[in-house]
Structure 1
Amino acid sequence: MPTAAVVGGGSLGMLLAGRLAASGCDTELWTRTSEQAARINSEGLTVESETGQAVIRAEVKAVPINEAAFFKNGPILLALKQTALTPDFLERFARIVPDDATVALFQNGIGHVEKLQLALPGRNLVVAITTEAAQRIDSVTVRHTGRGETRLGNVTEDSGGHDQDLEDLLKQAGFSVSLSKQVREAMLRKLLINAVINPLTAILRVKNGELTQSPERLHLMKALFLETYEILTPHGLGDEAELWNHVLQVCDATKANRSSMLQDVSLHKETEIESINGQICRLASEQGKPAPWNTAVTTLVKAVD
Structure 2
Amino acid sequence: MKIGVIGGGSIGLLFTAYLSKSPHEVVLFVRREAQQQAIGTMGLTLKYGSSVYTCQPGVRLLSGADHNDIDVLIVAVKSYNIEQVMPEIGEKFSRTRSILFVQNGMQHLRVLPKLQMHSIYIGVVEHGALKESDHLISHTGLGQTKIAPYLDGHSGINWEKLSKENFPFTYQNDWYAMLSEKLHINAVINPLTAILKVTNGALLTNPYWVYLMKQLSKEACKVLNIKDHEAWKDLVTVCKNTSLNKSSMLRDIENNRKTEIDAINGFLLNSAQQKNIEVPNNRFVFQVIKGMEESMESRGNNG
Which ranges of structure 2 fall in alignment gaps of 5 or more residues? 294-303
CA distance in 1, matches of 2:218, 2:55: 43
Contact 2:107 2:264 in 1 (8 A): no
Name structure 1 gaps, 5 residues minimum.
none
Alignment partners' CA distance in 1, 2:78 and 2:65? 18
Give the corresponding residue for 1:115: 111
**Matching of residues 4-83 of structure 1 within 5 Å:** 4-49=3-48, 51=49, 53-67=50-64, 69-83=66-80
Task: Choose which of 180, 187, 193 in structure 1 pairs with 2:172.
Answer: 180
Match of 1:277 among 256, 259, 265: 265
Distance 1:177 1:89, change over 3 A: closer
CA–CA distance in structure 2, aligned partners of residues 42 and 122 of structure 1? 36
For residues 224-281 of structure 1, give each alpha carbon's deviation from its aligned partner in whole angstroms, at most 9, with x where no partner exists: 1111112211xxx2x3222111111112222232222112112211111011101111
CA distance in 2, matches of 1:288, 1:73: 44
Is the 1:103–1:124 contact (alpha carbons within 8 Å) kept by the matching residues of 2? yes
**Structure 2 matches for 1:240-255, cutoff 5 A?**
240-255=228-243
The alpha-carbon distance between structure 1 residues 174 and 26, as it changes in their structure 2 partners (threshold 3 A), is farther
Q: Distance in 2 between matches of 1:145 and 1:243?
A: 24
In the TM superposition, what whole-angstrom CA distance separates every residue of 1:103-133 from its partner, at most 9, and x where no partner exists? 0010111131230222x23111011122112
Deviation at 1:174, TM superposition (A): 4.2
* CA distance in structure 2 between the partners assigned to 1:139 and 1:54 by the alignment: 19
Equivalent residue letter for 2:241:
A
- Spell out the pairing of 1:90-169 with structure 2 (5 A cutoff): 90-118=86-114, 120-156=115-151, 158-162=152-156, 164-169=157-162
> How far does the alpha carbon of each residue in 1:44-75 deviate from its partner, in whole angstroms, 9 at most, with x for none?
111122x4x34321112222222263233321
Q: Give structure 1 regions of 4+ aligned residues with deviation exceeding 6 angstroms.
A: none
Paired amino acid for 1:159: G
For residues 166 and 140 of structure 2, what CA distance do their matches in structure 1 show? 15
In structure 1, how many angstroms separate the alpha carbons of the residues matched to 2:62 and 2:123?
Answer: 21
Instruction: Tell me by how many angstroms 1:40 deviates.
Output: 0.8
CA contact (8 A) 1:135 1:258 kept: no
Q: What is the percentage of aligned positions where both structures have the same residue?
A: 28
Matched, 1:196 2:188: yes
Assess, with a 3 A threshold, how the Cα gap between structure 1 residues 7 and 173 changes in structure 2: closer, same or farther.
farther
User: Per-residue displacement from partner, 1:58-101 (whole Å, max 9, x unpaired)?
Assistant: 11222222226323332100001111123x43112211112452
TM-score computed with the length of structure 2 as normaliser: 0.91
Paired amino acid for 1:62: V
Alpha-carbon distance in structure 1 between the residues aligned to 2:265 and 2:234: 19
Paired with 1:263 and 1:31, the residues of 2 have a C-alpha distance of 21
Cα distance, 1:217 vs structure 2:
2.0
Contact 2:119 2:155 in 1 (8 A): no
Structure 1 position 190, deviation (Å): 0.8
User: 1:78 is matched by which residue type in structure 2?
Assistant: V
Does the 8 Å CA contact 2:21/2:164 hold for their aligned counterparts?
A: no
Letter in 2 for 1:298: F
Cα distance in 2 between the residues matched to 1:54 and 1:32: 29
Equivalent residues, number: 293
